[in-house]
Amino acid sequence: MIHSIWAYLNSDAFHMLGETVISIGGILTALGFIWAKIISPAWKALANSYRILRQVEELHPVIISMASQFSTNGGSSLRDCMNRVESISAAAAKDAAEAVVQAKEAVIRAETAVEVVKKLPCHTAQDCVTLSATLSAPR
């Protein structure tokens, strides 16, 4: 009996069986490596791409709506509001500059009137008011 087991272990069939088992193990290892390093990551990337594509499809109308706010459409877009704010602020700055010029002119006229009044003797309060009104009138 031991002789027959020993003969089988030394036979070509046993060696072929061992080589077959080793080959199958190598093939399974290679397939596992290919699955872990190539197929599984590619599958996950494809699933993520599909998920992102779905989200982009859901956001597309919102993005289009937001983009339309950056062009003029006759008054109701964000761009139209910004244009109105810019024109109003430009007009306010121009008005403020004109007011500063007018205020400076008024100060100069008032200072001139005060100096003239100081040089002229006023006998009554009414004389001073009349003289002041005459001097501060626009020329």
Domain span at residue 47?
2-100
Would you say residue 81 lies in a domain? yes
**pTM confidence score:** 0.41
Distances (CA, A) of 112 to 104, 123, 124, 126: 12, 20, 20, 19
Query: Has residue 99 got a pLDDT over 70?
Result: yes
Determine phi and psi for 69, rounding to 5 degrees: -75, -15
Would you say residue 90 lies in a domain? yes
Would you say residue 129 lies in a domain? no
Would you say residue 131 lies in a domain? no
Percent of the chain with pLDDT over 90: 43
